[in-house]
Amino acid sequence: WTATRDKSCKLPMPKGSMGFPIIGETCHWFFQGAGFHASRRQKYGNVFKTHLLGRPLIRVTGAEHVRKVLMGEHSLVTVDWPQSTSTLLGPNSLANSIGDIHRKRRKIFAKVFSHEALESYLPKIQQVIQETLRVWSSNPDPINVYRESQRLSFHMAVRVLLGFRVSEEEMHCLFHTFQDFVENVFSLPIDLPFSGYRKGIRARDSLQKSIEKAIREKPLHTQGKDYTDALDVLLESAKENNTELTMQELKESTIELIFAAFATTASASTSLIMQLLRHPAVLEKLREELRSCGLLHDGCLCQGELRLDSIISLKYLDCVIKEVLRLFAPVSGGYRIATQTFELDGVQVPKGWSVMYSIRDTHDTSAVFKDVEAFDPDRFSPERSEDREGRFHYLPFGGGVRSCLGKQLATLFLKLLAVELAGGSRFELATRTFPRLISVPVVHPTDGLRVKFFGLD
């Protein structure tokens, strides 16, 4: 709370308020959600100071400023998650690695998300989505889309990515423990009985125990390129890089992957469904594209095997997913720490201060997007490609050396979901109006989005 300016630097400190001792402005942030940053940005400008989750912080918005932070990894800034996140993810996580160790770990992980690996996950992802939509459609009541999308992305991560064979009951328990973990990953680092932090630690310990059991019981297929899941690829990739992953590293990596996929993908899936409901013309155009590629016949999706290349070739689908991620970026930004004092927008970012670059606010305030608040997938069409103006105006997956490793997987998942929704489902909003959105910890509707699914007649 007492972090100070760098007196050797002539530049002024960013404007802003540090709130109350210890808690700073954390409570304002929790209660105001997205409005917290917007109101301060309007008052203090694109680079302002505040105090969140137990530490002083400079919040940065705008493509040029964000570019400087993201490209300054190692020279100006390094990763710096809030203490709760750091402790709960563990020392072996990518989130907590820096420099050469980070580079080495990323190299091992890269193979998990290669084209070849994605091709091998595709049928299983499709199967999990189809099963889920069947369950949603057979329910006589409306579905809470956000909650059920969390379950869907959790199933995808546990069954498809990690290849764990757990019973329904175990899956249910794991899911609830994981929810406890996620809800407390961003909490004040106060380790007292009943504190969120303590709850998060308990959830992490319990998850690690279950994951260790699942890993030990899991048949491993690490020969050849016939991957069955991401854990197999990870182990093979580690071997190729002359590294043997310890059980602790495997457990932390597993939790990190599920964590990275869970809330983000659930948020994006919910936003996708909401936008398809809001914009029937977009849904119809998607159907038209599926028809013209021979994937949709007489109102039914072709049951033949869907290939990764056919999904990639669907240009309008690509625009729709990009636009969902622009307007409803699940991750609001990323945390760094200044390793030296530097200038940003005419003010100083003193060495030792935390820096949070903003994704959602950067999208919302970017001048390159025409009618920035409108849902307009065609802005990403080859004729318009508004994102071509500059790399850092559009960054749902971050940027630089720490950009999202699961970007292609997340995009594939969302595309497969959209294909199934457009080709194989009928669904309508079960409430009179669309719900409001809140943005902490990820963007989601206040009521979860109540939708009645019917399946196809």
Taking the mean position of all CA atoms in its chain, how far away is CA 225?
A: 28
Binding to ligand HEM (CB under 6 A) within 353-382 occurs at 359
Q: How far is the CB of 300 from ligand HEM (least distance, A)?
A: 28
Binding of ligand HEM by 94 (CB under 6 A): yes
13-41 in b/e form (b: 16+ CB < 10 A) is bbebeebeeebbbbebbeebbbebbbebb
Structure tokens at 426: 């009928």
Q: How far is the CB of 452 from ligand HEM (least distance, A)?
A: 25
Cα dihedral 66, 70, 71, 77, rounded to 10, equals 110
Nearer to ligand HEM, 6 or 81 (CB): 81
Q: In the set 24, 163, 334, 445, which binds ligand HEM (CB under 6 A)?
A: 334
Q: How far is the CB of 445 from ligand HEM (least distance, A)?
A: 16
Which of these segments, 123-131, 201-209, 328-336, 424-432, binds ligand HEM (CB under 6 A)? 328-336
Binding of ligand HEM by 270 (CB under 6 A): no
Q: Please, what is the Cα angle at 379 between 376 and 383, to 5 degrees?
A: 140
Residue whose structure tokens are 């590293």 = 249
Say how many Å lie between the first and final Cα of the chain, rounded. Answer: 60
Binding of ligand HEM by 404 (CB under 6 A): yes
Structure tokens at 290: 């599926």
Nearer to ligand HEM, 296 or 332 (CB): 332
Q: In the set 53, 257, 286, 416, which binds ligand HEM (CB under 6 A)?
A: 257
Beta bridge partners of 338: 77
Nearer to ligand HEM, 261 or 286 (CB): 261
Binding of ligand HEM by 66 (CB under 6 A): no
Which of these segments, 136-144, 179-187, 264-272, 368-376, binds ligand HEM (CB under 6 A)? 264-272
Give the 3-state secondary structure of 68-94: HHHHCECCCEEECCCHHHHHHHCCCCC
Binding to ligand HEM (CB under 6 A) within 384-403 occurs at 396-398, 402-403
Q: How far is the CB of 311 from ligand HEM (least distance, A)?
A: 16
Binding of ligand HEM by 90 (CB under 6 A): no
> Omega into 441 within 30° of 0, i.e. cis?
yes
Binding of ligand HEM by 260 (CB under 6 A): yes
Give the 3-state secondary structure of 321-365: HHHHHHHCCCCCEEEEEECCCEEECCEEECCCCEEEEECHHHHHH
Binding of ligand HEM by 409 (CB under 6 A): yes
Nearer to ligand HEM, 351 or 407 (CB): 407
Binding of ligand HEM by 410 (CB under 6 A): yes
Q: Please state, in angstroms and as integers, the Cα–Cα distance from residue 222 to each residue in 103, 239, 256, 329, following that order.
A: 23, 10, 21, 35
Nearer to ligand HEM, 49 or 363 (CB): 363
Taking residues 196 to 215 in sequence order and writing x for each that binds ligand HEM by CB under 6 A, - otherwise, the string is: --------------------
Contact call for residues 358 and 66 (beta carbons, < 8 A): yes
Q: How far is the CB of 255 from ligand HEM (least distance, A)?
A: 11
Binding of ligand HEM by 65 (CB under 6 A): no
Contact call for residues 25 and 52 (beta carbons, < 8 A): yes
Which of 7, 150, 25, 61 lies closest to 364 in space, CA to CA?
61
Q: How far is the CB of 158 from ligand HEM (least distance, A)?
A: 11
Binding of ligand HEM by 331 (CB under 6 A): yes
State which H helix or E strand residue 153 sits in.
Answer: helix 145-155
Binding of ligand HEM by 14 (CB under 6 A): no
State which H helix or E strand residue 275 sits in.
Answer: helix 247-278
User: Distance (Å, rounded) from C-alpha 290 to C-alpha 23?
Assistant: 51
Binding of ligand HEM by 77 (CB under 6 A): no
Total residues in contact with ligand HEM, by rule CB under 6 A = 23
Binding of ligand HEM by 72 (CB under 6 A): no
Q: Please state, in angstroms and as integers, the Cα–Cα distance from residue 53 to each residue in 5, 22, 178, following that order.
A: 20, 9, 21
Q: In the set 88, 118, 405, 416, which binds ligand HEM (CB under 6 A)?
A: 405
User: Distance (Å, rounded) from C-alpha 437 to C-alpha 448?
Assistant: 9
Q: In the set 72, 163, 200, 330, which binds ligand HEM (CB under 6 A)?
A: 330
Instruction: Give me the residues that bind ligand HEM (CB under 6 A), please.
Output: 94-95, 106, 257, 260-261, 264-265, 268, 330-331, 334, 359, 396-398, 402-406, 409-410
